[in-house]
Chains A and B, each alone.
Chain A
Amino acid sequence: MKTSKSIYLFFLPGLILYSLFFLYPTISALFYSFTDWDGLSAAFQFVGIDNYTRAFTGDSIFRKAIGNNLKFMLTVVVFQTLVALAFALIVIKNTKTNVFLRALYFFPTILSSVSVAFIWAFIYDPSMGILNQVLSLVGLDFLAQNWLGDANIAIYSLAVTQVWFHAGQMLIIFVAGLQAIPEELYEVAKIEGASKWQTFRAVTWPLLAPSATIVVAYTTIQSFKAFDLVFAMTGGGPNNSTEIIATYIYQVAFGSYQFGYASSISVIFMVIIALITYLQFKALRSDRVSY
């Protein structure tokens, strides 16, 4: 009995850190979201739900940021999941080449996001960048674009960078999931005469659902929080076309010193992420996988 009580002490450091760095800031944000606090002064006024009303009815940039974030998230979730899965299927066997390739694909993940931003800003530069120069060299000049300067495509250019940055991380999750599928099931499918596509659809994909759920949920949260990459590459421009919720919160809080309003956007942001993640879990139904 004594042992079972003392075991709770193991939770204590984690609980204190979690409370200090997550619970307290979250509760503070909720509190300040009902105030006009400027982040500097000791004094502030309670403004009721004014900040929330403003966010939903009187702030066109916030609405644009939500739209941009959804575009960014959908592009990243679809392509990052597909790219990671495709590469995972290629490197699933534990050969020396595949182990090397996994490490290679994982490599971008260990870079700092600011380094990645600089590398890709250089690649995308319309006049000196590698991408347009390569397109020009192979006779595809007509595909050359103002990748980060064109408000219509800038958010997708950022999404490509995000996929390159994190696909390797998701690949590892998929490889682990694929390797956990019993070999006998593939043997049965083969005996039954299933094609490769049928095998993938009936065996691989259903049994990969738990991994896919993790990948999709993690990618969603990651793409909502892609602050550093976006901030370093475009700063939200041109014309707010790459402004996402995280960069907008930063701008409102530290550019305009409207911490109260920024807190209200943060709370809305948290609810949006929670809602989308919940819907994804429901849709992918990872708990219903069975052999």
Chain B
Amino acid sequence: MKKKLWLATGTIGLGLVLGACAGESGGGSSENGDATQISFMHWRGEDKAVLDEIIADFEEANPDIRVEQNIYPSDQYQATAQRMLQEGSTGDVFTSFPGAQFESIESAGFFEDLSGEEFISNFDESLITVGERDGTQYALPYQLVFNMPVYNKGMFDELGLEVPKSWTEFQEMADTLLENDITPIAFPGADIGPNQFMNSMMMNNAPDEDVFEKLQNGEESLTNEWWVKTLEDFKLLADKGYIQDNALGTNQDSAMAMVANEEAAMIATGSYHMASLIALNPDLELDLLAPITVEESEATYEGINTATFMLAVNSNSEKKDQAKAFIDYLSQPEVASKYANETGQHLTVNNVEYESKELKNTAYWIDERKTRFQPRFLITNAQIEGAVLSSIENVLGGEDPMAAAEAAQQIVDENRE
């Protein structure tokens, strides 16, 4: 009798523990009354409010579908999204970064083929190729980001500064700013600075868009001129005081504060910070400016773009039709316009009406300027990407550019597949 009691107690106890575990890991998509609930997994916590409104409108138009947002911070998202998709309970609709994450999700087979879906025609054809592989459309980039410095246009006008068209002009502009006690570039080296600024710093030093693919297969080296010159240019920025002291200890919030307080003229991040800067200082007039690190006649590109926040359907989902219906809804011009204007983002959707001043002022970058897809996202091996970024940190920490390039190339060699 006692034995049975112990067994029963043990079984119930274990059941409770395992039951609790199961309860915590569940959630996401489930049947909710007559409506089917789908999970929308993404990393844009700052967009939750506007997406809640859009979802409410979607649910009103589609009463048989409910959408739940599952949001993870972007750094965590890079690491956990694949696991969630594998499990299949979260992320019926999900977003992917281009580059390494897209590659790994694609090779794991978690993308549902979206080729042939009518809503594809709602997107700008030239901006969604990053979500395509071998003629199959796996994901549809929603946001169009310009990963290049944001500058204080009002300050430039006041000081009579023109947007520099060459490396010489860039240095003259920076000297003028320094003479006026203004730090030319606020560089958030503690977090996203290196991975954002490297793109525009190298875009004309290595105009070949396949340069990182060649680096990964051994045809190129970081000790070649294109990267050593890029590191030398970074060193020049640090040595001449064009970026603030202790840049490697500055995070993006501090760098934004420098620009908002007009202590610095530029922030080396991207267009996604414009709305936050305006919120910090509504008097700012902002535009985008990428350093041209060669002479004007040699410049191929004027800036960097990234089609990102790539919408996709989980191939493991049991609610693919509902998931596609939600992407279809997001790609409607009026819905996309609402999202664009309330989040301060340019989008890849056709016929979006931009209303905010900063979006209108910079919309010309979409089709009037020659921009290049973010080179960093073309590094598909995370270890090699880390080596490239470390070499920038190494130089900003005082290392000789060639020595930093050699150290990074050693890691590239160790990790080449």
Contact = CB atoms under 8 A, between A and B. Distances in A.
B partners with A: yes
Contacts of B7: 9
Contacts of B394: 151, 238-239
B13 interface: yes
Nearest to B76: A254
Contact of A240 (B78, B244, B249, B390): B390
A255 B382 contact: yes
B250 interface: yes
A147 B414 contact: no
Contact of B397 (A239, A251, A257): A239
B411 A9 contact: no
Contacts of A2: 2-3
B248 A150 contact: yes
A177 interface: no
Interface string A1-40: 0100010010011001100000000000000000000111
A275 B228 CA distance: 43
A238 B382 contact: no
B249 A147 contact: yes
Interface stretch (B79-87, B210-218, B351-359): B79-87
B48 to A, nearest CB: 20
A58 B414 contact: yes
B364 interface: no
Interface string B10-23: 10011001000000
Given A2-B2, A9-B7, A126 B245 contact: yes
B393 A239 contact: yes
B381 A256 contact: yes
Interface residues of B, number: 45
Interface in B370-394: 381-383, 386, 390, 393-394
A252 B248 CA distance: 23
A128 B249 contact: no
B361 interface: no
B323 interface: no
Contact of A237 (B6, B257, B393): B393
A70 B3 CA distance: 51
Contacts of B251: 121, 125
A149 interface: yes
A71 B10 CA distance: 46
Contacts of B393: 151, 237-239
Contact of B254 (A40, A60, A127, A254): A127
8 contacts: A38-B107, A41-B107, A148-B248, A235-B75, A238-B189, A238-B190, A238-B397, A240-B390
Interface of B: 2-3, 6-7, 10, 13-14, 17, 75, 78-80, 82-83, 86, 100, 104, 107-108, 189-191, 244-251, 254, 257-258, 381-383, 386, 390, 393-394, 396-397, 410-411, 414
Given A60-B410, A125-B254, 8 more contacts: A13-B17, A38-B107, A61-B411, A125-B251, A126-B250, A127-B254, A148-B190, A149-B189
